[in-house]
A and B are shown apart, each in its own frame.
Chain A
């Protein structure tokens, strides 16, 4: 869900700043919360992370940097960016531009894919990596559906793929205001543009995941119907030394369904 001003105000402790960066052809809005060691938060295509309570918690001890991915929530998506791989170069530019060091990257779903595209190219500014129900690779054969089709299935079915308990979905489409509906439309258009084909993955990425040398944690919802835990195991296998933890009673967004359990793993990994 787009970060509403009210959501930001709710927490008086973590100071939030908002800045727009001109990178390549794009205008990228970056929100920063709190201070301390930097965490780069790469949101999912559903953008639940931006107003989530766990971000406030992270911001108590860290500087949480949340770019709005071009195409989402006001950041512009130029014609020159046609894939998540294209997108990753923009983020490498952003890391340079902000002169960040020892960054922990945490990526959710498509954000996890983006994190891998960044880390496989240049990890000089990175320290640790957390992938949460990440997409981005294909493990199995041509006839296997590794990543569930969110476009072919009914909205109700897709919700079931995404959530262990559908009542925990913070977004009810029919309750959206006109502005929220338009934001959501733009976000879904951006996702389709970047992820329709090849479907939510880069066929080459799995062959270069070996380049990820930083400490990596994969967090997965045990009931994720979009990318199953078997997919997660395949993912983890490709990143040497990585650790995979699953969270029960959670689907594609464990940080939404089981935030405490989720934070327990994150905090332990950040220590």
Chain B
């Protein structure tokens, strides 16, 4: 099992609750104060530098026009970490490729980061939450096929090394694609994908060898989804996917005592209690399946986390697996139980920070997590024995055979017969 630290770089200093209707899309940037915000960015980046020092990985995401996330250009933050960290895998989850509209530029950014970090990039893509479509103006009825078109083009661009090729697809037209630099990792960076309720999308992701991720999802729903994906893949006659092709992100807090953990998780929980948005932002037409949208129109479906859920107590979220907290042993026990219930996952993205949680609290929670939880779980699960499409990945092997993700990837690349460029050789500073 691999572990990633995550903070959404939220802007916590909001007006009183009755003075605004939405954290997203429409909240004026006048609410943001650069004199505090500039420190805030650096504090969030410091957390990731600490994650690296503690031996865990980093996950960075991206949202737009929202106080929930100040990372409006995730590649910038990841690029900073490519220089400031030494060993951590750097996961961007992800690039909203459909909304960005220029996959070639995106391919260049990712390839640069992969080089600067000596091959530590885990390159994720997201379709983007519905709120994003108001800022990007991307057509909600097209996001899904557009995302897949963009990813396929980027993969082709990363793996073509003999000069320009022509691409005139449904949305993207480029007549001379010749991406510099080529990625550090061969044939390219591992790809991640996120998803919600669409089983076909999840199946297609894993079939393509992408790590499929779910965020803040109750254990029961994750189990249903992962089980359905595994069954679909089996029906297609594909090999069993290793755990490293599945990821999950809960809210996490670790304390010396349960009481301290509860204090920390309540601070992380800020994200859920404050995450309000006007209903029409949650369901632009064509974003969700037609039946779900019909239910939204007639008022049978709220289009996302309802206000009722936002006000439920912490026990409710601990019970359903969205929040994982307690003493190190309690957290280990809860995660082991979830691993079993869900039927396996190989990546845990721990949202250890949110809202106005002070640095000293998140640093303590992270340290306990990295030093006392991770060592007890890291040998759990399986990893792929080769890289590429699922059909070519071979039989899953125990994660315990390797020192970590980088080690496992090197072995998989060697076995696949592609070049292995070791990121372990540390960079020498120019004189």
Q: Contact between B280 and A181 (Cβ–Cβ < 8 Å)?
A: no
Interface string of B272-296 (1 = CB under 8 A from A): 0000001110001110001101110
Q: Contact between B280 and A185 (Cβ–Cβ < 8 Å)?
A: no
Q: Which of A152, A153, A182 is within 8 Å of B291, CB to CB?
A: A182
Q: Please tell me if A188 contacts chain B, counting CB pairs below 8 Å.
A: yes
Q: How large is the interface on B (under 10, 10 to 19, 20 to 34, 35 or more residues)?
A: 20 to 34
**Stretch with Cβ within 8 A of A (4 or more), from B56-64, B132-140, B367-375, B382-390:** B132-140
CA distance A197 to B170 in the complex (A): 16
CA distance A73 to B137 in the complex (A): 26
Q: Please tell me if A155 contacts chain B, counting CB pairs below 8 Å.
A: yes
Q: Contact between B295 and A196 (Cβ–Cβ < 8 Å)?
A: no
Q: Which of B138, B139, B279, B294 is within 8 Å of A184, CB to CB?
A: B294
Interface string of B152-188 (1 = CB under 8 A from A): 0000000000000000001000000000000000000
Q: Contact between B297 and A185 (Cβ–Cβ < 8 Å)?
A: yes
Q: Contact between A191 and B285 (Cβ–Cβ < 8 Å)?
A: yes
Q: Which of B26, B284, B295 is within 8 Å of A151, CB to CB?
A: B284
Q: Contact between B294 and A178 (Cβ–Cβ < 8 Å)?
A: yes
Q: Please tell me if B329 contacts chain A, counting CB pairs below 8 Å.
A: no
Nearest to B288 among chain A residues (CB) is: A185
CA distance A24 to B291 in the complex (A): 28
Q: Contact between A192 and B294 (Cβ–Cβ < 8 Å)?
A: no
Interface string of A57-93 (1 = CB under 8 A from B): 0000000000000000000000100000000000000
Contacts of B25 in A (CB 8 A): 152
CA distance A250 to B140 in the complex (A): 31
Tell me if A's interface is mostly helix, strand, loop or mixed.
helix
Those of A171-196 within 8 Å (CB) of chain B: 173-174, 176, 178, 181-182, 184-186, 188-189, 191-193, 196
Those of A150-178 within 8 Å (CB) of chain B: 151-155, 173-174, 176, 178
Q: Contact between A152 and B280 (Cβ–Cβ < 8 Å)?
A: yes
Contacts of A174 in B (CB 8 A): 298-299
Q: Contact between A192 and B141 (Cβ–Cβ < 8 Å)?
A: yes
Given that A152-B134, A182-B291, A186-B290 are known contacts, is A192 also in contact with B299, CB under 8 Å in the complex?
A: no
Q: Distance (Å) between the CB of B313 and the closest chain A CB?
A: 30
Q: Contact between A173 and B280 (Cβ–Cβ < 8 Å)?
A: no
Contacts of A176 in B (CB 8 A): 297-298
Given that A173-B299, A178-B294, A193-B286 are known contacts, is A154 also in contact with B141, CB under 8 Å in the complex?
A: no
Nearest to A193 among chain B residues (CB) is: B141
Contacts of A192 in B (CB 8 A): 139-141, 284-286
Q: Contact between B139 and A193 (Cβ–Cβ < 8 Å)?
A: yes
Q: Contact between A181 and B297 (Cβ–Cβ < 8 Å)?
A: yes
Q: Distance (Å) between the CB of B202 and the closest chain A CB?
A: 22
CA distance A153 to B293 in the complex (A): 17
Contacts of B286 in A (CB 8 A): 188-189, 192-193
Contacts of A153 in B (CB 8 A): 280
CA distance A191 to B140 in the complex (A): 11
CA distance A188 to B134 in the complex (A): 16
Nearest to B280 among chain A residues (CB) is: A154
Nearest to A173 among chain B residues (CB) is: B297
CA distance A196 to B297 in the complex (A): 18
CA distance A18 to B140 in the complex (A): 32
Contacts of A79 in B (CB 8 A): 170
Q: Please tell me if B307 contacts chain A, counting CB pairs below 8 Å.
A: no
Contacts of B278 in A (CB 8 A): 154
Contacts of B298 in A (CB 8 A): 173-174, 176, 178, 181
Nearest to B300 among chain A residues (CB) is: A181
Closest 3 CB pairs of A and B: A185-B294, A181-B294, A188-B285
Contacts A182-B291, A196-B139 supplied; 17 other A-B pairs, CB < 8 Å = A151-B280, A151-B284, A154-B278, A154-B280, A155-B280, A173-B299, A176-B297, A176-B298, A181-B294, A184-B297, A185-B285, A185-B291, A185-B294, A188-B286, A189-B141, A189-B293, A193-B141
Task: Name 22 interchain pairs, CB-CB below 8 A, sorted by A.
Answer: A79-B170, A151-B285, A153-B280, A154-B279, A155-B279, A155-B280, A173-B297, A178-B294, A181-B297, A182-B290, A182-B294, A184-B297, A185-B294, A188-B286, A189-B285, A189-B293, A191-B285, A192-B141, A192-B286, A193-B139, A193-B142, A197-B138
* Residues on A facing B (Cβ under 8 Å): 79, 151-155, 173-174, 176, 178, 181-182, 184-186, 188-189, 191-193, 196-197
* Residues on B facing A (Cβ under 8 Å): 25-26, 134, 137-142, 170, 278-280, 284-286, 290-291, 293-295, 297-299
